[in-house]
Chain A
């Protein structure tokens, strides 16, 4: 069974604008899937439906055997097992880095302060930011904040990780430090769904690429096939635009 199944998902904003049109795809355990497409194509919306941050009006989503869309689902419990990294980091500015990493562990997973702290420091070390543990998010650079945000998701021991344009709010010189962490994570076998325009990252670690346009999944192909011979004209156009330089 796939880690994430997305079946015929439809989403409307209001009565007229359909943000997602009959989207169907899946992500196997250990798979890395990159979602790309022009802005406004619905890729961020799609990834946010997976942990129910965006409600859907039709179709179903199953994560690790749990029906996301069922009203009976305990959403907080599900979300705690799905790591999410946002475009604008969204660290909690009023909490120290360590407290950003301990909050979910203590309040959601019920870990003791010591246990949570130990885990937090291990993960901070892993993303190379142990020295900044007692700082506040505002004292870190964008790249550092995004690495902390990845660590904040990882301390929860997620079964999969969702990345919503994790590098698009970063200055160019900080993009790589974040991508390095993501590449390492992918190589360790983490199940990942990544909305990004970083085609270098996609070539390096993705197994599959999903291309979206106007709310539709236009292409869903193995990485090699996608880059070598995109089937649709829209994907070809998109690739030619972003791989131009």
Chain B
């Protein structure tokens, strides 16, 4: 007897539009926003950490250390429950403000990923020879101009493979939003599975999809890495 005879794989075909149009769209959007936001914020944090100003490096380092010491699920919960109060404090309102699960998630992932991206960008900035900095200053660039036109483009370029690799990890981590009952790809699969009592099929399918996307992406990153290596 076929072990799969109890399974109904048709459920997958029937739920495809829902899984991808709702679930995967959210997953990819969150991944993209958190990556762009995380890299931008992370770059600022990295620059703060490397700055020669007095307190700034310590603040930046604490931020990174705290974020990296906490499990992501905990941070998701914590921010979800804290954000209304933080908003109240920031905006001086009478009551805790309403922050939806969606915006809470986007902010959380951006802030959380920024800690990781800042370490990547810090390594990238430090990989640029000091002579480049001197050359930038020597033609009269100010510190912000020198970073913007000389150091950061090279740092970003050198770190691109690592940034994409982190993005793949992030893509998988977005599934943790299920704790706030948000319909990402895994959440969508889970909902369909629970509704129809077909959890095994749906989870199997979700696993295959995550695997294919992640593997394809990391193969592309490897190719990119080779191309960057030649261009230098």
Interface residues of A (CB under 8 A from B): 48, 51, 53, 75-84, 86, 88, 90-94, 103-104, 107-109, 138, 152-153, 156
Contacts and interface: CB of A to CB of B under 8 A. Distances in A.
B137 A53 contact: yes
B157 A107 contact: no
Interface in B133-156: 134-142, 145, 149-150, 153-154
* Secondary structure of the B contact surface, majority rule: helix
B138 A103 contact: no
A79 B139 contact: yes
B29 interface: no
Contacts of A53: 134, 137-138
A90 B140 contact: no
Contacts of B135: 84, 86, 90-92
A48 B153 CA distance: 25
Contact of B140 (A48, A79, A91, A92): A79
A94 B140 contact: no
Contact of B149 (A75, A83, A90, A103): A103
B43 to A, nearest CB: 16
Given A93-B154, A153-B139, A88 B131 contact: yes
B131 A86 contact: yes
Contacts of B62: none
B107 to A, nearest CB: 32
Contacts of A86: 131, 134-135, 138
Given A92-B132, A103-B149, A138-B232, A79 B154 contact: no
B141 A94 contact: no
A90 B139 contact: no
A76 B144 CA distance: 11
A129 B230 CA distance: 24
B141 A76 contact: yes
A103 B135 CA distance: 12
Contacts of A153: 138-139
